[in-house]
A and B are shown apart, each in its own frame.
Chain A
């Protein structure tokens, strides 16, 4: 038997190779993520404008003070929260229902799974336009259908009316991203151990009992992942809002507000301050999530080891 010569040396060499292979990627990410992010932080403390970045002067917390005093900003924070809470709740609820349906055995399961992928494949801008047309106040098919069934007695201006615009926005986002949630949860369902269900069957537990006693508790981690993924994505929403309802006050989200300051008002300082705040909120939620995942990982490896 041949003993490996100096295994620590070999491991060291492998580690060096690993970092070498990672170097191009890390350089690229530093260039497109870390550096611009750091510059955004810097601009948020300056009076930079769109056409005068070089002449930016340090103004301390001035931009943040103005931002926190702007009711439009707080309105956009509120809109973002409402949008995130409502769309995530609906997407995870509906996604779970679709996942459970797709988990059953029935003829036509393949075509249904394919159909569910269609909204996911459609670009957000295109889905915003498609739904904008369906929500049209005069010629829209949504109004026509609801009038036909008798739910409505008069057509509604879905995307223009202050009360309905947010609902319309949520409806489009739910349509577009529920498939992703459903597929994520379906993958989780397919990994559940079969023997639990066999045992429950032997004990004569009903489908409902099985669902609440086995499926729901075992699916909690997958549901948590879906919620956090969707929430982080919903908080930064820009394209759907910009295309469907523009920058009107009732639906403006934090990202739309920030871009308006940056580009339309050419105020790089204020826009960067708004972007920075949005980043901090998302970073906080991400950090909490990653810590939770790491705790779970170490718990799992402690159990295994």
Chain B
């Protein structure tokens, strides 16, 4: 009885510790973002007043609204391009048995391990040649390197799990493979495509190295670059209140989205790794 009580207490403590560890840094960013002046330097863990001046300042002192728009545009374009390329390919990889299928899947897994820095100089040359330096479209194209292998790997795994009878019936009826993908598999795949798209969106939204290297003006920056380059008036001490306000502004929607779709995201994250 006594031992069980201790054991239960210890487990409760463990759960609380994990919860605190996972949530506290974000909580602290929110609390700090709502403090200005001397209050910002307080390490009191409980907020006493709410001050939105940091949020106003972030949008007033730099084109942060535009940066958010840029990020949405780049990530959205990247997701659409990735899905358009990946869905037909994943039908082939997941549903058709052909020689070269397995080596291809491994090749895609290999590409997902590519360090981005290894293509940076080659990519720089392409971007310049296409006149896409400091242009958002250039970023979307680069991001395909990050999102394509991810999208293909996850979608193929999902595609393989669909029942075989559906397409056999359609094929007997004489439907072409493209029509099959478009009219029959796509609606069935909608939830999986949503999850994959969300994973690709998050990857594109968070990307830093390409965005830092291939944009120059503050009007074309994406959110991660804008936040990384926020600097103070004196250049000596960072305006931490602004940095925290910017961080919370772009992270809160992401966290809400992830919490809403958590089951699908977890399925998407683990499906590729488990099924190898």
Contacts and interface: CB of A to CB of B under 8 A. Distances in A.
B40 interface: yes
Contacts of B192: none
Contact of A22 (B92, B128, B149): B92
A33 B111 contact: yes
A32 B118 contact: no
Contacts of A28: 85, 144, 148
A79 B187 CA distance: 48
Contacts of B117: 236, 238, 254-255, 258-259, 275, 278
A116 interface: yes
Interface residues of B, number: 92
B18 interface: yes
A33 B86 contact: no
Interface in A166-181: 175, 179-180
A43 B102 CA distance: 32
A122 B43 contact: no
A122 B26 contact: yes
Contacts of B110: 283, 286, 290
B125 A39 contact: yes
A286 B149 CA distance: 15
A278 B208 CA distance: 19
B15 interface: yes
Interface in A181-233: 183-184, 187-188, 191, 222, 225, 229, 232
Contacts of B141: 31-32
Nearest to B276: A293
A43 B247 contact: no
B250 interface: yes
Interface string B96-120: 1111010010101111011111111
A124 B121 contact: no
Residues of A contacting B: mostly: helix
Contacts, number: 279
Contacts of A19: 92, 98
Contacts of A11: 97-98
Interface stretch (B46-54, B55-63, B223-231): B223-231
A115 interface: yes
A170 to B, nearest CB: 15
A154 B231 CA distance: 28
Nearest to A286: B113
B64 interface: no
Interface string A262-276: 110000100110011
A84 interface: no
A118 interface: yes
Most buried by A among B19, B123, B212, B270: B270
A282 B115 contact: yes
B6 to A, nearest CB: 15
B29 A133 contact: yes
Interface string A232-247: 1001101100110000
14 contacts: A11-B97, A14-B97, A25-B86, A29-B148, A40-B119, A114-B259, A118-B22, A130-B29, A134-B25, A139-B240, A225-B276, A239-B224, A271-B120, A276-B118
